[in-house]
Structure 1
Amino acid sequence: MNESGLQQLDSLRAELADLTARRDIQQALNDYMRGQDRLLPDLQRQAFHEDGWVDCGLFAGRAWEFVDFAQGFLAQCDASQHLIGQVDIKLDGKRAQGEVYFIAHHRTIEKGEKFDLFIAGRYHDEYEDRGTGWKISRRKEIVDWARTDPAADSFLREQTSLHLARRGAAG
């Protein structure tokens, strides 16, 4: 293979490594969100390095302890749905930084009344590949806005044939 061919091959390898890192980081983000919504703490923990750190304002500490904190809150909700928006990742070797937009919906119950709590914000993340795959090493949650509304479920009550969500792996 000539010099030009070797350069092309090196370029393709670098591009493949970049794409693979981005895919693996995205999978960690997906595991985190799905673990929250389905109440699967092991899946949510999978997104973090064991010594990872989370600061969400209400909690600042070890990531795996944060998972217990978050799962405790989410278990009190009838349902939740966390959606990922734009994801901006800056790779630097085996480290990366990211900003991840999210919107989270929580169906809460207070004094017997159902409410919809919406939170929109961004995660400022640091990721590392330590030989076990790309995972979150640090996360700071920034809330851009939030609102709480009384639940309005007439549609769900009237549509008895809908497949309503369940929590857990099968949900």
Structure 2
Amino acid sequence: MTQDSSSAEREIARAHYGYAYALDTRDWAQLDAVFDESAQAHYGPGIDLSGREAIVRSIRSFLDHCGPTQHLIGNLDINIQGERANARCYIRAHHLERDSASPKSYEAFGRYESVWLQGPAGWRVTDWTMTVTHEVGSREVLGLRATEA
């Protein structure tokens, strides 16, 4: 059931934006529309995850420590090859500390690279990699010590 490439690109782009909204609104169920059940994710050195449940659990382990966040997706590039697609985009993720009159912040700049497969439920990520290229602020906002990845 191969879609035309412009419809496929729109669906994959919407899923990227849905990912960002899900993180910022803490709508974890929305990630079912992004990640395949058996997806693999790589969020940096030592954070290699297998399966959608493990991915969501890991994301929550960071964001449940935060106050408001804003994940911005930019320069999205999608390459469709039949029922498989490769995508890449830039990410800018801003995180504020929870419950503080003058909160600390943490901001990560980087990119996502992903592999998508089309199945009966639509396009889903099978492999997701986040590469952080620059950081500003305190990782303590994520519940990490400054030296942890």
* Counterpart secondary structure, 1:69: helix
Q: Going by fraction, where is helix more abundant, 1 or 2?
A: 1
Q: Does 1:69 align with 2:58?
A: yes
Match of residue 22 from structure 1 = 9
Match of residue 24 from structure 2 = 37
Q: State the Cα deviation string for residues 73-97 of structure 1 (Å, max 9, x = none).
A: 2121111100011111111000011
Q: Does 1:138 align with 2:127?
A: yes
Q: State the Cα deviation string for residues 74-124 of structure 1 (Å, max 9, x = none).
A: 121111100011111111000011111110000025999621111011011
* Counterpart secondary structure, 1:37: helix
Q: Going by fraction, where is strand more abundant, 1 or 2?
A: 2
Match of residue 84 from structure 1 = 73
Give percent identity, aligned residues only: 24
TM-score normalised by length of structure 1: 0.72
* Counterpart secondary structure, 1:78: strand
Structure 1's unaligned 5+ residue stretches are 1-13, 150-171
Q: Which amino acid aligns with 1:49?
A: D
CA distance in 1, matches of 2:60, 2:95: 12
Partner of residue 125 from structure 1, selected from 100, 107, 114 = 114
1:111–1:28 CA distance, 2 compared to 1 (3 A): closer
Q: State the Cα deviation string for residues 7-45 of structure 1 (Å, max 9, x = none).
A: xxxxxxx9x711100011011112211111111111123
Match of residue 101 from structure 1 = 90
Q: Which amino acid aligns with 1:125?
A: S
Q: Is the 8 A contact 2:68 2:98 kept in 1?
A: no
Q: Which amino acid aligns with 1:50?
A: E
Q: Does 1:148 align with 2:137?
A: yes
CA distance in 2, matches of 1:67, 1:113: 29
Q: Which amino acid aligns with 1:34?
A: Y
TM-score normalised by length of structure 2: 0.82
Match of residue 47 from structure 2 = 59
Q: Is the 8 A contact 1:45 1:64 kept in 2?
A: no
Question: What is the aligned-residue RMSD (CA, Å)?
Answer: 2.2
CA distance in 2, matches of 1:111, 1:81: 18
Structure 2's unaligned 5+ residue stretches are 139-149
Answer with 1 or 2: which has the greater Rg.
1
